Amino acid sequence: MESPFSSPVEAVLQREAGLPGLLTPLADLDRVYELERIVGFVRDLGCQRVALQFPDQLLGDAGAVAARLEETTGSKMFILGDTAYGSCCVDVLGAEQAGAQALVHFGTACLSPPARPLPVTFILGQRSVALELCAKAFEVQNPDPTVPMVLLSEPACAHALEALAMLLHPKYQDLIVSSPALPLPSESPSPEPKPLECFGRHFPLAPGRCLEEYGAFYVGGSKASPNSDLDPDLSRLLLGWAPGQPFFSCCPDTGQTQDEGVRAGRLRARRRYLVERARDARVVGLLAGTLGVARHCEALAHFRNLTRAAGKRSYVLALGRPTPAKLANFPEMDVFVLLACPLGALAPQPSGSFFRPVLTPCELEAACNPAWPPPGLAPYLTHYADLLPGSPFHVPLPPPESELWDAPDVSLISGELRPPLACRPLNDPGCSALTPRPQLELAESSPAASFLSFRSWQGLELRLGQTPVTEAVSGRRGIAIAYEDEGSS
User: What pLDDT, on the 0 to 100 scale, is given for residue 376?
Assistant: 61
Q: What is the DSSP letter of 84?
A: S
CA 443 to chain centre: 40
Q: What is the pLDDT of residue 311?
A: 87
**pLDDT at residue 478 in the model:** 84
Give the pLDDT of residue 16. 47
Q: Which amino acid is at 253?
A: D
Question: Angle 35-45/62-73 helices, nearest 10 degrees?
Answer: 50
What are the DSSP E strand ranges found in 289-434? Answer: 313-317, 335-339, 358-359, 409-410, 417-418
Over its length of 489 residues, how does the chain's per-residue pLDDT go in tens digits? 444 444 455 554 454 444 455 578 888 888 888 999 999 999 999 989 999 999 888 888 888 999 999 999 989 999 987 777 778 888 888 888 888 999 999 988 888 888 888 899 999 888 889 999 999 999 999 999 999 999 999 988 999 999 999 999 888 989 999 999 887 665 555 556 678 888 889 999 888 888 889 999 999 886 544 444 678 889 889 988 888 899 999 999 888 999 998 989 898 898 889 999 999 999 999 998 888 888 888 999 999 999 998 889 999 998 888 888 888 888 889 999 999 888 888 876 655 578 899 999 989 998 998 888 776 655 577 788 888 888 878 888 888 888 878 777 888 888 888 877 665 555 555 544 444 555 544 445 566 667 767 777 767 777 778 888 889 988 888 887 778 887 765
Q: Which of 319, 326, 330, 325 is nearest to 288 (CA)?
A: 319
- Give the pTM: 0.78
Domains of the chain: 12-123 (3.40.50.11840), 131-183+195-267 (3.40.50), 281-418 (3.40.50.11860)
Give the pLDDT confidence score for residue 443 in this predicted structure. Answer: 47
Pairing, β 201-203 against β 179-180: antiparallel
Would you give the DSSP letter of residue 373? Answer: P
Q: What pLDDT is stored for residue 217 in this prediction? A: 95
Cβ-count burial 413-432 (b if 16+ within 10 Å, e if not): eeeeeeeebebbeeeeeeee
Residue 167 DSSP SS3: helix
- Is residue 378 within 8 Å of 242, Cβ to Cβ? no
Closest to 104 (Cα-Cα) out of 41, 182, 187: 41
